[in-house]
Amino acid sequence: MPETLEVKNIGLRGVKVADTRISDVNGEKGILIYRGFDVVELARSSTFGEVSFLLLNDRLPTRQELEGFRKELVLERAVPGVVLEFMRMMPTSAHPMDILQAVVPMLGSFDLQLHEETKEANHKKALRLIAKMATTVAAWDRIRKGLEPIHPHPELSHAANFLYMLTGSPPQSETAREFDICLILHAEHSFNASTFAAREVASTHAHMYASVAAALGALSGELHGGANSEVMKMLLEVKEVDQANPWVAKRLGKGGKVMGMGHAVYRTEDPRATILRGICESLADRWGDSRWCELTKAIEYATKEEFKRLKGGEIHANVDFYSASVYHMMGIPRDLFTPVFAVSRISGWAAHIIEEKFAEAQPKPELYRPDSDYVGTYCGLEACEYVPVERRTP
């Protein structure tokens, strides 16, 4: 083995693996665009339904198309009874991300167009997944609590219906709108780990449900989508604003990370974090309790200061930092934060899977097959001598 190894596992940072027409992250300037539109503008003026249409179709819908898309989503919300039965048989301690990752291929088995690999059929599969993943997450939360799942409400928006299926009562209109904005903000983010996983699986010609199941596995990790739930864990642990500084100093001093801070691409504040901070404040105003926002801000400030002191650089909040207190105030259980991320990100994943399958941004579809250097045991071209087990010495 060579004495010094060139480090190749740099997490593919800066390596461009494909072209995409779906979104772009300008990490230096803190700008995120979906299909050319600034996410800040979409959060201000659009809805999750419209953004999903945009991501999937590369253009904004007409009023008629948007209404058609909305109606189709409503019609596809129910999940098969067998899937609910499966969930009833699962241990109530099962993590909602694991349940979701198990349910998605089951939903595929009920999709009559599962193996139909036309663009049109994949658009239908995308729509079904957008509709049914929300229902699945809400149903699992009810089932594990010994409650009956709530039937989707055809009159409610995607965002309002999700909160309704979770809690049993329709949310205030302000809360529904704020949750809708959260869904818009989480819908897409170029070649992050889960999207890359989805595209990599799609490049093998696996179907959409298999690709989404892979993405769900990638999203579950704490360095990716799992960070929002870890942020809430931290808030519950730190508890008081005056504990923020010592807690952060101890954490960073031991080489630990403050979840929800830092980003692989942004070198300034994540624009989504800015919007979520605002939502946190308005929810706190309506709640009449600013505890969670204030605590989040205190930890953010302490992390920036301590990071500068220790590493001499800047660190900023990412999308997961404020979404934790926002979701908590909306009454969403902590371990559903990452599944809620998935309920939104499915739109982006599906758009990427379609782009990958139909080579919408490149001349032809291509199987991902990276290379590696072998640095293990090597006995020359003859290979190592195989010694039968009975002759092996310890």
Residues with catalytic roles:
263, 320
Among 96, 260, 271, 348, binds ligand COA (CB under 6 A): 260
Q: Is 96 among the residues that bind ligand COA (CB under 6 A)?
A: no
Among 18, 223, 241, 249, binds ligand COA (CB under 6 A): 223
Identify the sign of the CA torsion 342, 346, 352, 353.
Answer: positive
Burial grade of 185 (CB within 10 A; 0-12, 13-18, 19 or more): buried
Among 124, 257, 291, 334, binds ligand COA (CB under 6 A): 257
Q: Is 264 among the residues that bind ligand COA (CB under 6 A)?
A: yes
**Window contacting ligand COA (CB under 6 A); options: 127-135, 145-153, 223-231, 356-364:** 223-231
Among 258, 293, 346, 351, binds ligand COA (CB under 6 A): 258
CB 21 within 8 A of CB 274: no
Show the tokens assigned to 102: 């198990």
Q: Is 32 among the residues that bind ligand COA (CB under 6 A)?
A: no
Q: Is 121 among the residues that bind ligand COA (CB under 6 A)?
A: no
Among 262, 271, 339, 348, binds ligand COA (CB under 6 A): 262
Closest CB to ligand COA: residue number: 262
Sequence-ordered alpha helix ranges (H) in the chain: 39-45, 48-57, 63-75, 81-89, 96-109, 119-144, 158-167, 173-186, 193-202, 208-219, 227-238, 244-253, 271-287, 291-311, 319-329, 337-357
**Window contacting ligand COA (CB under 6 A); options: 89-97, 156-164, 318-326, 330-338:** 318-326
Whole-angstrom distance, CA of residue 316 vs CA of residue 351: 28
Nearer to ligand COA, 53 or 337 (CB): 337
**Window contacting ligand COA (CB under 6 A); options: 74-82, 155-163, 251-259, 341-349:** 251-259
Whole-angstrom distance, CA of residue 278 vs CA of residue 283: 9
Q: Give 151's DSSP letter.
A: P
Whole-angstrom distance, CA of residue 122 vs CA of residue 100: 20
Among 142, 263, 272, 345, binds ligand COA (CB under 6 A): 263
Minimum CB separation of residue 388 from ligand COA in Å reads 46
Nearer to ligand COA, 224 or 345 (CB): 224
Q: Is 318 among the residues that bind ligand COA (CB under 6 A)?
A: yes
Whole-angstrom distance, CA of residue 228 vs CA of residue 224: 9
**Window contacting ligand COA (CB under 6 A); options: 75-83, 143-151, 239-247, 253-261:** 253-261
Q: Is 325 among the residues that bind ligand COA (CB under 6 A)?
A: no
Burial grade of 115 (CB within 10 A; 0-12, 13-18, 19 or more): exposed
| Beta-bridge partner residues of 261 | 317
Q: Is 259 among the residues that bind ligand COA (CB under 6 A)?
A: yes
Nearer to ligand COA, 5 or 389 (CB): 5
Show the tokens assigned to 70: 């909305």
Whole-angstrom distance, CA of residue 278 vs CA of residue 274: 7
Nearer to ligand COA, 175 or 303 (CB): 303
Q: Is 320 among the residues that bind ligand COA (CB under 6 A)?
A: yes
Minimum CB separation of residue 98 from ligand COA in Å reads 20
Among 183, 227, 275, 293, binds ligand COA (CB under 6 A): 227
**Window contacting ligand COA (CB under 6 A); options: 63-71, 79-87, 200-208, 258-266:** 258-266
Instruction: Count interface residues toward ligand COA (CB under 6 A).
Output: 16
Whole-angstrom distance, CA of residue 306 vs CA of residue 283: 28
Q: Is 319 among the residues that bind ligand COA (CB under 6 A)?
A: yes
Complete edge-to-edge strand list for the sheet that includes strand 23-26:
23-26, 31-34, 37-38
Nearer to ligand COA, 128 or 189 (CB): 189
CB 23 within 8 A of CB 352: no
Question: How many CB atoms within 10 Å of residue 103?
Answer: 26
Residues of this chain that interact with ligand COA (CB under 6 A) are: 223-224, 227, 252, 257-264, 315, 318-320
